């Protein structure tokens, strides 16, 4: 996967992924590593509160299970009035889960996520959706970390590079939390043909602030796929300048 982000930030992030995947010392604290935080685990307390306020599914009886996402990696956590001590990034994953469940329900068995990070969304989503397969597509060092992390929870997941995967039949849901929008146009077009067009539904958070001449914008993406998907989209948290949330349901 080729990124449209700062090369130095990407290199530092990938180095932490490799160290966390291969050494227990780094794995213990990777979520609070400043180089890792250049890409992930950088949600502020205030943004975490906004995400929590957006959650519209019943999560109270699953809260302990959701907080299991904070057991490994020593994330920064804060005390929130409704939920107690929790990572704001985990609250973001809870908000993503709320979006998905509210729109598509829970009868979802097969999922592909483009750019799965360490697997945090997969972990939180599993508290609400009893999926049978969850395939994460990422760079190999990210996959190594993802495998190590998700193995702690014994989930039915696989992590592979895009060139290692062939999809022969439609699957239930595709997810991309920023990653698709942060790739180059060439890679985005490959993802559209190889994965998105073979999904029955998709949920994409599109980072509008990274759009460039070498990547597909949110509006261009919608135009490309609207012939085969019914589309709904809006600004995250309803605020201008925030990423676009894009839902698709195959016609």
The answer as to whether 220 is a domain residue is: yes
The answer as to whether 175 is a domain residue is: yes
When divided into structural domains, the chain yields a total of 1
CATH number at residue 33: 3.40.50.150
The answer as to whether 2 is a domain residue is: no
Q: How far apart are CA 182 and CA 250, in angstroms?
A: 24
The answer as to whether 170 is a domain residue is: yes
Q: Name all contacts of 190-195 with Cβ < 8 Å and 24+ positions apart.
A: 190/162, 191/114, 191/162, 192/221, 192/224, 192/225, 194/162, 194/165, 194/167, 195/112, 195/114, 195/137, 195/167
Could you tell me how far CA 96 lies from the centroid of its own chain? 8
**Domain interval for residue 90:** 7-250
In the chain, what percentage of residues exceed pLDDT 90? 80
The answer as to whether 54 is a domain residue is: yes
The answer as to whether 163 is a domain residue is: yes
The answer as to whether 124 is a domain residue is: yes
Q: How far apart are CA 177 and CA 22, in angstroms?
A: 25
Question: pTM here?
Answer: 0.94
Token pair 């700062």: residue: 6
Q: How far apart are CA 17 and CA 141, in angstroms?
A: 6
Which tens digits make up the pLDDT trace of 89-129? 999 999 999 999 999 999 999 999 999 999 999 999 999 99
The answer as to whether 159 is a domain residue is: yes
Which tens digits make up the pLDDT trace of 131-174? 999 999 999 999 999 999 999 999 989 888 888 878 878 999 99
Which tens digits make up the pLDDT trace of 212-229? 668 899 999 999 999 999
């Amino acid at each position: 996967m080729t990124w449209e982000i700062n090369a130095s930030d990407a290199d530092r992030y990938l180095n932490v992924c490799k160290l966390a995947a291969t050494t227990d010392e780094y794995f213990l604290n990777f979520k609070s590593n400043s180089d890792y935080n250049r890409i992930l685990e950088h949600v502020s307390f205030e943004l975490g509160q906004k995400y929590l306020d957006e959650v519209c599914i019943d999560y109270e009886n699953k809260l302990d299970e959701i907080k299991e996402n904070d057991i490994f990696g020593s994330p920064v956590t804060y005390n929130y009035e409704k939920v107690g001590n929790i990572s704001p990034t985990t609250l973001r994953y809870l908000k993503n889960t709320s979006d998905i469940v509210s729109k598509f329900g829970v009868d979802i068995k097969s999922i592909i996520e483009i750019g799965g990070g360490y697997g945090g969304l997969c972990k939180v989503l599993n508290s609400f959706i009893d999926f049978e397969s969850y395939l994460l597509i990422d760079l190999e060092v990210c996959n190594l970390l993802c495998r190590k992390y998700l193995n702690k929870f014994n989930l039915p997941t696989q992590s592979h590079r895009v060139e290692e995967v062939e999809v022969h039949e439609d699957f239930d849901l595709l997810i991309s939390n920023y990653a698709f929008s942060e790739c180059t146009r060439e890679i985005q077009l490959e993802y559209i043909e190889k994965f998105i067009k073979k999904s029955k539904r998709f949920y994409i958070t599109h980072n509008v602030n990274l759009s460039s001449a070498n990547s597909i914008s949110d509006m261009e993406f919608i135009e490309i796929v609207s012939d085969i998907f019914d589309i709904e989209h809006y600004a995250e948290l309803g605020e201008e300048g925030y990423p676009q949330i894009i839902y698709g349901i195959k016609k």
